[in-house]
Chain A
Amino acid sequence: MGKLFSSKNKEVLFSPLSKNNPVVVQMLGVCSALAVTAKLEPAIVMAISVTVVVAFANVIISLMRNTIPNRIRIIVQLVVVAALVTIVSELLKAYAYDVNKQLSVFVGLIITNCILMGRLEAFALGNGPWESFLDGIGNGLGYGLILVVIAFFRELLGSGTLLGIQVVPQAAYDFGYVNNGLMILPPMAMFVVAAIIWAHRAKNKDLQEN
């Protein structure tokens, strides 16, 4: 066990959660992070799906990394990812049909989620299967963390609910509190992400751009 979780592997697993976060630092996987976060439930399902796909795609590509010809590696990677996403998509259709409907095309779009290609190119092609697996889990969780934070604020402020359960008390509405409908609309996700980036970079000064 000691060897499996050496300090380097811990770094690989945990650095994507904050200082090397795929969404707000590496700028990967932004498309779906914005599109599925109007409600918390689809955001969580999406985060789990991406984590699973990126972890297993990393392992498979890492196992094949010495046999893939360089010129066609993008097509090979896409086929591996597409096969995994098809499995996830069929599973969702079978066991979580409502959420699958809400996610609509974005399940299929996990294939072109830049986190996948980014991690496969940058990590799995040059590292062993176990490190790649940890890297996939770490990046999936880092991505999921941002998704959940965005979805939490958007659902709370936009609909007054969390996971579909009413949390803003009726009394508040009686006093004249109104849900901020703007939060559910697409552009507001951009402002929430910008706010997260602002807070994150104010704390980690070395990430600031000039």
Chain B
Amino acid sequence: MEQLLSTFVRSIFVDNMIFAYYLGMCSYLAVSKNVKTALGLGLAVTFILTCTLPINYMLETHVLKEGALSWLGADYANVNLSFLSLIIFIAIIASFVQLVEMIVEKYAPALYASLGIFLPLIAVNCAILGGSLFMQQKAFDNVGVATVYGFGSGIGWLLAIIGMAAIREKLQYSDVPKPLKGLGITFIVTGLMGIAFMSFSGIKI
């Protein structure tokens, strides 16, 4: 329980996907113009991360890792398929996004219309594949921790994009030097938010 809680808090604040690793910057920059769409995208990313991380974790520990196939018998104990992990992870993520897209299209057409093109593009959001790759690197103890890590990373990403969208809505009324308008000032604000989030990194949990 303690481990779950600390993984959750760490993945939101200390290892924040955007401010510590800059993952998912592209959609973060493109979609943070108003809070409502930012919230929709953030929720979708959180959902996909929470669903794909446990699947990829199971695949990693039971199929891909060195010696992971030993449950098939002694012959397979030395098989190491880890070079396939990139393709498998991205295939799981892409097909999952496709699945979610179809389900949302069928049962919640209003939500589908409001998310538009961003829904299929979640497949290429670095934060999602990044979550799976960090999971591989960190070698979590069990599938519960991996799920919590995915959920926490999603929430961290959601927090960052909503904060940014709120600031950008206000920024429209301020007098920014012309060459910095739009993209430039967004980078500077993200940097300042990143410095603020760095103060969490001293926390030992």
Chain A residues in contact with chain B, CB under 8 A?
A: 24, 27-32, 34-35, 72, 74-75, 78-79, 82-83, 85-86, 89-90, 104-105, 108-109, 111-114, 117, 185-191, 193-194, 197-202, 208-210
Contacts and interface: CB of A to CB of B under 8 A. Distances in A.
Contact of B126 (A82, A109, A210): A109
Among B19, B84, B195, B198, max chain A CB count under 10 A is at B195
Among B29, B120, B178, B179, max chain A CB count under 10 A is at B179
Interface residues of B, number: 47
B180 A194 contact: yes
A187 to B, nearest CB: 3
Given A82-B91, A187-B192, A209-B181, 15 more contacts: A27-B183, A28-B26, A34-B22, A78-B94, A105-B134, A105-B137, A109-B130, A186-B22, A191-B188, A193-B187, A194-B187, A198-B179, A200-B179, A201-B180, A210-B181
A115 B82 CA distance: 26
Contacts of B19: 186-187
B37 interface: no
A186 B133 contact: no
A68 B191 CA distance: 40
Contact of B20 (A30, A75, A186): A186
Nearest to B84: A86
Given A186-B22, A191-B188, A75 B94 contact: yes
Given A27-B29, A108-B86, A198 B129 contact: no
A16 B24 CA distance: 22
B100 interface: no
B166 interface: no
A31 B129 contact: no
Among B25, B128, B192, B198, max chain A CB count under 10 A is at B25
A86 B85 CA distance: 9
Contacts of A35: 21-22
Contact of B188 (A105, A186, A194): A194
29 contacts: A27-B30, A29-B26, A30-B29, A35-B21, A72-B98, A78-B123, A79-B90, A79-B91, A105-B133, A105-B134, A108-B86, A108-B129, A111-B90, A112-B90, A112-B125, A114-B26, A117-B124, A187-B19, A187-B191, A187-B198, A189-B191, A190-B191, A194-B187, A198-B177, A198-B179, A200-B179, A201-B179, A209-B181, A209-B183
